[in-house]
Amino acid sequence: MIVVVKIGTSSVTTADGSIDEQAVAKLCAEVATLRARGVGVVVVSSGAVTAGVAALQLPGGRPSDSTTLQALSAIGQHRLMRVYDEALGRLGLLAGQVLLAPLDFGERRQYLHARATLVRLVDLGVVPVVNENDAVADDEIRFGDNDRLAALVANLLAADLLVLLTDTAGLFTADPRTSVDASLVEEVGEIGAELERAAGGPGSVGGSGGMASKLAAARMASWSGVRAVIAGARRPGVLVDAVDRVPGVGTVVSPKPRTLGARKLWIAFALDPVGRIVVDDGARRALVEREASLLAAGVVAVEGDFVPDDAVEIVGLDGLVFAKGLAGLAAATATSWVGRSSAELAPGLAREVVHRDDLVVLVGAPGSGARR
Protein backbone atom coordinates (compact mmCIF):
# COMPACT_ATOMS: atom_id res chain seq x y z
CA MET A 1 0.00 0.00 0.00
CA ILE A 2 1.22 3.48 -0.86
CA VAL A 3 -0.04 6.66 0.76
CA VAL A 4 0.78 10.16 -0.43
CA VAL A 5 0.31 12.79 2.29
CA LYS A 6 0.44 16.47 1.51
CA ILE A 7 0.86 19.08 4.22
CA GLY A 8 0.37 22.77 3.51
CA THR A 9 2.40 25.83 4.41
CA SER A 10 -0.03 26.98 7.11
CA SER A 11 0.28 23.59 8.82
CA VAL A 12 4.10 23.32 8.80
CA THR A 13 5.05 26.90 9.62
CA THR A 14 4.42 29.02 12.72
CA ALA A 15 2.87 32.50 12.77
CA ASP A 16 6.31 34.09 12.22
CA GLY A 17 6.92 31.85 9.17
CA SER A 18 9.57 29.62 10.69
CA ILE A 19 9.18 25.86 10.36
CA ASP A 20 6.90 24.36 12.99
CA GLU A 21 9.09 21.56 14.30
CA GLN A 22 6.31 20.12 16.46
CA ALA A 23 3.94 19.89 13.52
CA VAL A 24 6.58 18.13 11.42
CA ALA A 25 7.38 15.80 14.35
CA LYS A 26 3.68 14.93 14.72
CA LEU A 27 3.36 14.10 11.03
CA CYS A 28 6.59 12.07 11.04
CA ALA A 29 5.44 10.05 14.08
CA GLU A 30 2.31 9.06 12.14
CA VAL A 31 4.39 8.28 9.06
CA ALA A 32 6.56 6.01 11.24
CA THR A 33 3.47 4.17 12.54
CA LEU A 34 2.41 3.44 8.96
CA ARG A 35 5.93 2.46 7.88
CA ALA A 36 6.05 0.00 10.77
CA ARG A 37 2.90 -1.59 9.30
CA GLY A 38 4.62 -1.93 5.93
CA VAL A 39 2.79 0.99 4.31
CA GLY A 40 4.89 3.09 1.92
CA VAL A 41 4.49 6.81 2.60
CA VAL A 42 5.46 9.75 0.40
CA VAL A 43 5.23 13.19 2.00
CA VAL A 44 4.56 16.24 -0.16
CA SER A 45 5.49 19.23 1.97
CA SER A 46 5.05 22.92 1.33
CA GLY A 47 6.69 25.57 3.45
CA ALA A 48 9.94 26.30 1.59
CA VAL A 49 9.00 29.78 0.41
CA THR A 50 7.56 30.88 3.74
CA ALA A 51 10.53 29.46 5.66
CA GLY A 52 12.86 31.31 3.27
CA VAL A 53 11.00 34.57 3.82
CA ALA A 54 11.26 34.11 7.59
CA ALA A 55 14.98 33.30 7.41
CA LEU A 56 16.01 36.30 5.30
CA GLN A 57 13.80 38.81 7.14
CA LEU A 58 13.59 41.34 4.32
CA PRO A 59 12.36 44.78 5.33
CA GLY A 60 8.74 45.13 4.22
CA GLY A 61 7.82 41.51 4.94
CA ARG A 62 6.85 38.91 2.36
CA PRO A 63 7.82 39.97 -1.17
CA SER A 64 5.11 39.71 -3.79
CA ASP A 65 7.15 39.10 -6.94
CA SER A 66 7.59 35.54 -8.02
CA THR A 67 11.32 35.81 -8.80
CA THR A 68 12.14 36.79 -5.21
CA LEU A 69 9.78 34.16 -3.81
CA GLN A 70 11.36 31.49 -6.01
CA ALA A 71 14.82 32.61 -4.86
CA LEU A 72 13.74 32.50 -1.22
CA SER A 73 12.53 28.94 -1.62
CA ALA A 74 16.19 27.96 -2.05
CA ILE A 75 16.83 29.19 1.49
CA GLY A 76 13.73 27.59 2.94
CA GLN A 77 13.85 24.22 1.18
CA HIS A 78 16.98 22.87 2.85
CA ARG A 79 15.84 24.20 6.22
CA LEU A 80 12.57 22.35 5.75
CA MET A 81 14.43 19.17 4.84
CA ARG A 82 16.66 19.47 7.88
CA VAL A 83 13.60 19.48 10.13
CA TYR A 84 12.12 16.43 8.35
CA ASP A 85 15.46 14.64 8.42
CA GLU A 86 15.86 15.20 12.14
CA ALA A 87 12.25 14.29 12.97
CA LEU A 88 12.37 11.10 10.90
CA GLY A 89 15.88 10.33 12.15
CA ARG A 90 14.65 10.30 15.75
CA LEU A 91 12.18 7.60 14.63
CA GLY A 92 14.87 5.54 12.90
CA LEU A 93 13.83 6.64 9.40
CA LEU A 94 15.59 8.49 6.60
CA ALA A 95 14.17 11.34 4.52
CA GLY A 96 14.91 11.64 0.79
CA GLN A 97 14.33 14.96 -0.98
CA VAL A 98 12.66 14.88 -4.41
CA LEU A 99 11.89 18.18 -6.15
CA LEU A 100 9.54 18.05 -9.14
CA ALA A 101 8.32 20.54 -11.72
CA PRO A 102 5.38 20.33 -14.14
CA LEU A 103 7.63 19.40 -17.06
CA ASP A 104 8.66 16.27 -15.17
CA PHE A 105 5.11 15.04 -15.65
CA GLY A 106 4.77 16.18 -19.24
CA GLU A 107 7.94 14.52 -20.52
CA ARG A 108 7.39 10.78 -20.59
CA ARG A 109 11.03 9.92 -19.87
CA GLN A 110 11.23 12.32 -16.94
CA TYR A 111 7.96 10.95 -15.63
CA LEU A 112 9.28 7.38 -15.73
CA HIS A 113 12.52 8.41 -14.00
CA ALA A 114 10.66 10.27 -11.28
CA ARG A 115 8.43 7.27 -10.71
CA ALA A 116 11.35 4.83 -10.61
CA THR A 117 13.21 6.98 -8.09
CA LEU A 118 10.22 7.41 -5.79
CA VAL A 119 9.35 3.72 -5.93
CA ARG A 120 12.95 2.75 -5.19
CA LEU A 121 13.13 5.13 -2.23
CA VAL A 122 9.93 3.64 -0.78
CA ASP A 123 11.26 0.11 -1.35
CA LEU A 124 14.44 1.08 0.47
CA GLY A 125 12.36 2.11 3.48
CA VAL A 126 13.09 5.81 2.95
CA VAL A 127 10.42 8.50 3.31
CA PRO A 128 10.51 10.67 0.16
CA VAL A 129 9.74 14.31 0.95
CA VAL A 130 8.56 15.97 -2.24
CA ASN A 131 8.14 19.65 -3.04
CA GLU A 132 7.82 21.65 -6.20
CA ASN A 133 11.23 22.66 -7.55
CA ASP A 134 10.32 26.25 -6.77
CA ALA A 135 13.80 27.69 -7.31
CA VAL A 136 14.02 26.76 -10.98
CA ALA A 137 10.48 25.94 -12.14
CA ASP A 138 9.26 28.12 -15.03
CA ASP A 139 6.93 30.59 -13.35
CA GLU A 140 4.59 30.54 -16.35
CA ILE A 141 3.78 26.89 -15.89
CA ARG A 142 4.45 26.30 -12.19
CA PHE A 143 1.99 24.21 -10.23
CA GLY A 144 1.94 27.09 -7.75
CA ASP A 145 0.31 25.00 -5.09
CA ASN A 146 1.30 21.61 -3.85
CA ASP A 147 -2.22 20.19 -3.85
CA ARG A 148 -2.07 19.57 -7.59
CA LEU A 149 1.51 18.29 -7.32
CA ALA A 150 0.45 15.83 -4.62
CA ALA A 151 -2.40 14.56 -6.79
CA LEU A 152 -0.02 14.04 -9.71
CA VAL A 153 2.42 12.18 -7.42
CA ALA A 154 -0.46 9.98 -6.20
CA ASN A 155 -1.32 9.25 -9.82
CA LEU A 156 2.34 8.66 -10.73
CA LEU A 157 2.67 6.03 -8.01
CA ALA A 158 -0.82 4.57 -8.47
CA ALA A 159 -1.20 5.28 -4.75
CA ASP A 160 -4.02 3.80 -2.70
CA LEU A 161 -4.69 7.00 -0.82
CA LEU A 162 -4.00 10.73 -1.04
CA VAL A 163 -4.31 12.64 2.24
CA LEU A 164 -4.45 16.43 1.97
CA LEU A 165 -3.71 17.88 5.40
CA THR A 166 -4.76 21.43 6.06
CA ASP A 167 -5.75 23.83 8.83
CA THR A 168 -9.45 22.92 8.77
CA ALA A 169 -11.02 19.53 9.54
CA GLY A 170 -12.09 19.03 5.92
CA LEU A 171 -14.65 20.49 3.56
CA PHE A 172 -17.60 22.22 5.20
CA THR A 173 -21.05 23.01 3.82
CA ALA A 174 -20.24 26.71 4.45
CA ASP A 175 -17.26 28.68 5.76
CA PRO A 176 -16.93 27.49 9.40
CA ARG A 177 -15.23 30.79 10.33
CA THR A 178 -18.34 32.78 9.47
CA SER A 179 -21.27 30.34 9.60
CA VAL A 180 -22.46 28.52 12.74
CA ASP A 181 -24.48 26.10 10.58
CA ALA A 182 -21.39 24.85 8.74
CA SER A 183 -21.01 21.08 9.00
CA LEU A 184 -18.29 18.74 7.80
CA VAL A 185 -18.94 17.00 4.47
CA GLU A 186 -17.82 13.46 5.26
CA GLU A 187 -18.13 11.83 1.85
CA VAL A 188 -18.10 13.19 -1.68
CA GLY A 189 -18.98 11.06 -4.69
CA GLU A 190 -18.88 13.49 -7.59
CA ILE A 191 -17.39 16.96 -7.14
CA GLY A 192 -19.90 19.31 -8.73
CA ALA A 193 -20.34 23.04 -9.02
CA GLU A 194 -22.22 23.32 -5.72
CA LEU A 195 -19.35 21.86 -3.73
CA GLU A 196 -16.84 24.03 -5.54
CA ARG A 197 -18.86 27.08 -4.52
CA ALA A 198 -18.87 25.90 -0.90
CA ALA A 199 -15.09 25.49 -1.11
CA GLY A 200 -14.60 29.17 -2.00
CA GLY A 201 -11.29 30.74 -2.97
CA PRO A 202 -7.68 30.55 -1.78
CA GLY A 203 -7.10 30.03 1.92
CA SER A 204 -4.32 31.38 4.09
CA VAL A 205 -1.68 34.01 3.27
CA GLY A 206 1.42 31.79 3.26
CA GLY A 207 -0.17 28.90 1.39
CA SER A 208 -1.60 29.31 -2.06
CA GLY A 209 -4.06 26.47 -2.16
CA GLY A 210 -7.28 26.90 -0.17
CA MET A 211 -10.18 24.48 -0.26
CA ALA A 212 -10.96 24.96 -3.96
CA SER A 213 -7.47 23.79 -4.82
CA LYS A 214 -7.86 20.80 -2.48
CA LEU A 215 -11.09 19.81 -4.17
CA ALA A 216 -9.45 20.12 -7.60
CA ALA A 217 -6.63 17.86 -6.36
CA ALA A 218 -9.10 15.39 -4.88
CA ARG A 219 -10.92 15.36 -8.22
CA MET A 220 -7.65 14.58 -10.01
CA ALA A 221 -7.03 11.77 -7.54
CA SER A 222 -10.53 10.51 -8.13
CA TRP A 223 -9.94 10.40 -11.90
CA SER A 224 -6.69 8.53 -11.14
CA GLY A 225 -8.53 5.86 -9.16
CA VAL A 226 -7.05 7.12 -5.88
CA ARG A 227 -9.18 7.67 -2.75
CA ALA A 228 -8.60 11.13 -1.32
CA VAL A 229 -9.13 12.49 2.18
CA ILE A 230 -9.03 16.18 3.06
CA ALA A 231 -8.42 16.44 6.81
CA GLY A 232 -7.05 18.56 9.62
CA ALA A 233 -3.28 18.41 10.12
CA ARG A 234 -3.64 18.96 13.88
CA ARG A 235 -6.08 16.09 14.47
CA PRO A 236 -4.32 13.43 16.57
CA GLY A 237 -3.62 10.30 14.52
CA VAL A 238 -5.12 11.83 11.38
CA LEU A 239 -2.93 10.00 8.88
CA VAL A 240 -3.39 6.58 10.46
CA ASP A 241 -7.14 7.19 10.81
CA ALA A 242 -7.36 8.17 7.13
CA VAL A 243 -5.71 4.85 6.20
CA ASP A 244 -8.00 2.97 8.60
CA ARG A 245 -11.08 4.71 7.16
CA VAL A 246 -12.16 5.99 10.57
CA PRO A 247 -15.51 7.78 10.12
CA GLY A 248 -15.37 11.55 10.49
CA VAL A 249 -11.60 11.75 9.87
CA GLY A 250 -12.23 14.42 7.24
CA THR A 251 -13.82 14.70 3.81
CA VAL A 252 -13.43 11.52 1.79
CA VAL A 253 -13.56 11.74 -2.01
CA SER A 254 -14.20 8.36 -3.61
CA PRO A 255 -12.24 7.21 -6.63
CA LYS A 256 -13.85 6.86 -10.04
CA PRO A 257 -13.96 3.40 -11.55
CA ARG A 258 -12.69 4.72 -14.87
CA THR A 259 -9.26 6.29 -14.54
CA LEU A 260 -6.90 8.37 -16.65
CA GLY A 261 -3.21 7.78 -17.33
CA ALA A 262 -0.64 10.29 -16.14
CA ARG A 263 -0.28 12.15 -19.43
CA LYS A 264 -4.00 12.57 -19.93
CA LEU A 265 -4.36 13.60 -16.33
CA TRP A 266 -1.71 16.23 -16.89
CA ILE A 267 -3.49 17.49 -19.99
CA ALA A 268 -6.78 17.54 -18.13
CA PHE A 269 -5.74 19.19 -14.91
CA ALA A 270 -2.17 20.52 -14.89
CA LEU A 271 -2.41 22.74 -17.97
CA ASP A 272 -4.36 25.93 -18.15
CA PRO A 273 -6.41 26.21 -21.36
CA VAL A 274 -5.30 28.82 -23.88
CA GLY A 275 -8.40 28.56 -26.09
CA ARG A 276 -11.75 26.90 -26.65
CA ILE A 277 -13.13 24.92 -29.55
CA VAL A 278 -16.91 24.69 -29.92
CA VAL A 279 -18.12 21.50 -31.60
CA ASP A 280 -21.44 20.23 -32.94
CA ASP A 281 -23.46 17.36 -31.45
CA GLY A 282 -22.10 14.79 -33.91
CA ALA A 283 -18.50 15.59 -32.98
CA ARG A 284 -19.39 15.59 -29.30
CA ARG A 285 -20.87 12.10 -29.61
CA ALA A 286 -17.83 10.86 -31.57
CA LEU A 287 -15.48 12.15 -28.88
CA VAL A 288 -17.49 10.98 -25.87
CA GLU A 289 -18.72 7.63 -27.19
CA ARG A 290 -15.92 6.56 -29.52
CA GLU A 291 -12.98 8.52 -28.12
CA ALA A 292 -12.34 9.68 -31.69
CA SER A 293 -10.02 12.51 -32.75
CA LEU A 294 -11.61 15.93 -33.25
CA LEU A 295 -11.82 16.74 -36.96
CA ALA A 296 -12.44 20.16 -38.53
CA ALA A 297 -15.81 19.02 -39.91
CA GLY A 298 -17.33 18.98 -36.41
CA VAL A 299 -15.89 22.35 -35.31
CA VAL A 300 -18.36 25.20 -35.10
CA ALA A 301 -16.16 27.97 -33.66
CA VAL A 302 -12.61 28.58 -32.43
CA GLU A 303 -11.79 30.98 -29.58
CA GLY A 304 -8.40 32.16 -28.31
CA ASP A 305 -4.98 32.45 -29.88
CA PHE A 306 -3.42 29.04 -29.34
CA VAL A 307 -0.49 27.39 -31.08
CA PRO A 308 0.04 23.65 -31.62
CA ASP A 309 0.39 21.75 -28.32
CA ASP A 310 -1.36 24.44 -26.29
CA ALA A 311 -4.19 23.15 -24.11
CA VAL A 312 -7.70 23.87 -25.37
CA GLU A 313 -11.12 23.20 -23.90
CA ILE A 314 -13.68 21.45 -26.07
CA VAL A 315 -17.14 22.88 -25.63
CA GLY A 316 -20.53 21.55 -26.76
CA LEU A 317 -23.30 23.63 -28.32
CA ASP A 318 -24.75 23.93 -24.79
CA GLY A 319 -21.64 25.91 -23.78
CA LEU A 320 -20.41 23.24 -21.35
CA VAL A 321 -16.80 22.05 -21.39
CA PHE A 322 -16.80 18.27 -21.83
CA ALA A 323 -13.22 17.59 -22.94
CA LYS A 324 -9.77 19.06 -23.03
CA GLY A 325 -6.83 18.42 -25.29
CA LEU A 326 -3.68 19.67 -26.92
CA ALA A 327 -4.32 21.60 -30.13
CA GLY A 328 -2.99 19.85 -33.23
CA LEU A 329 -2.77 23.15 -35.08
CA ALA A 330 -2.75 26.90 -34.53
CA ALA A 331 -5.97 28.82 -33.86
CA ALA A 332 -5.74 30.67 -37.20
CA THR A 333 -5.51 27.42 -39.15
CA ALA A 334 -8.29 25.83 -37.11
CA THR A 335 -10.48 28.86 -37.80
CA SER A 336 -9.91 28.65 -41.53
CA TRP A 337 -10.82 24.94 -41.43
CA VAL A 338 -14.06 25.31 -39.45
CA GLY A 339 -16.71 22.93 -40.75
CA ARG A 340 -14.60 21.62 -43.64
CA SER A 341 -14.52 17.90 -44.24
CA SER A 342 -11.21 16.07 -44.40
CA ALA A 343 -11.71 15.52 -48.16
CA GLU A 344 -11.84 19.28 -48.76
CA LEU A 345 -8.48 19.90 -47.09
CA ALA A 346 -5.16 19.69 -48.94
CA PRO A 347 -3.71 16.16 -48.92
CA GLY A 348 -0.83 15.63 -46.50
CA LEU A 349 -2.05 18.18 -43.96
CA ALA A 350 -2.61 17.02 -40.43
CA ARG A 351 -6.38 16.81 -40.29
CA GLU A 352 -6.97 16.37 -36.59
CA VAL A 353 -7.78 19.57 -34.77
CA VAL A 354 -7.09 17.55 -31.60
CA HIS A 355 -5.66 14.05 -31.92
CA ARG A 356 -7.33 11.35 -29.82
CA ASP A 357 -4.03 10.64 -28.01
CA ASP A 358 -4.01 14.26 -26.84
CA LEU A 359 -7.68 14.37 -25.93
CA VAL A 360 -9.36 13.75 -22.57
CA VAL A 361 -13.12 13.48 -22.23
CA LEU A 362 -14.13 14.74 -18.81
CA VAL A 363 -17.86 14.68 -18.70
CA GLY A 364 -18.88 15.85 -15.26
CA ALA A 365 -15.66 17.76 -14.67
CA PRO A 366 -16.13 21.18 -16.24
CA GLY A 367 -12.98 23.33 -16.38
CA SER A 368 -9.62 22.48 -14.86
CA GLY A 369 -9.23 25.31 -12.38
CA ALA A 370 -5.56 25.22 -13.26
CA ARG A 371 -3.27 28.21 -12.96
CA ARG A 372 -0.72 29.19 -15.52
Binder to ligand GLU among 20, 85, 132, 358 (CB under 6 A)? 132
* Residue number with CB closer to ligand GLU (146 or 293): 146
Residues 337 and 301: beta-carbon distance below 8 Å? no
CB of 122 to ligand GLU, least distance (A): 21
Q: Which stretch binds ligand GLU (CB under 6 A): 201-209, 245-253, 266-274, 311-319?
A: 201-209
CA dist 208 and 201 (Å) reads 10
Q: Is 127 in the site for ligand GLU (CB under 6 A)?
A: no
- The helix-helix angle for 146-156 and 108-123 (nearest 10°) equals 80
Gyration radius from the chain CA atoms: 22
Please select the residue that binds ligand GLU; options are 20, 85, 104, 134, rule is CB under 6 A. Answer: 134
272 or 280: whose CB is closer to ligand GLU?
A: 272
Q: Is 131 in the site for ligand GLU (CB under 6 A)?
A: yes
Candidate residues 146, 166, 293, 368; the one interacting with ligand GLU per rule CB under 6 A:
146
Site for ligand GLU in 21-80 (CB under 6 A): 46-50, 73
| Closer residue to ligand GLU (CB): 139 or 291 | 139
- Read off φ and ψ for residue 360, nearest 5 degrees: -125, 120
**Does the protein bind ligand GLU through residue 208 (CB under 6 A)?**
yes
Give whichever of 46 and 251 is closer to ligand GLU, judged by the CB atom: 46
Among 2, 5, 9, 227, binds ligand GLU (CB under 6 A): 9
**Coil vs helix vs strand at 96:** strand
- Is residue 209 at the binding interface for ligand GLU, with CB under 6 A as the rule? yes
| Residue of the chain from 40, 203, 207, 325 that contacts ligand GLU (CB under 6 A) | 207
Please give the backbone phi and psi of residue 97, each rounded to the nearest 5 degrees, phi first.
-85, 130
Query: Which are the contacts of 259, defined by CB distance < 8 A and separation ≥ 6?
Result: 223, 224, 225
Distance (Å, whole) CA 338 – CA 322: 19
Q: Which residue's CB is nearer to ligand GLU, number 146 or number 368?
A: 146
**Distance separating alpha carbons of residues 101 and 108, to the nearest angstrom:** 13
Closest CB to ligand GLU among 127 and 323?
A: 127
Min separation Cβ 340 and ligand GLU, Å: 45
Sorted by sequence, the CB contacts under 8 Å of residue 163 that are 6+ apart come out as: 3, 4, 5, 6, 228, 229, 231, 238, 239, 242
Residue number with CB closer to ligand GLU (128 or 207) = 207
The residue from 20, 104, 145, 352 that contacts ligand GLU (CB under 6 A) is 145
Longest dimension (CA), the chain: 70
237, amino acid identity:
G
Which of the 8 DSSP states describes residue 267? I
Query: Alpha-carbon distance 168 to 211, whole Å?
Result: 9
> Could you list the residues that contact ligand GLU (CB under 6 A)?
8-9, 46-50, 73, 131-132, 134, 145-146, 207-209
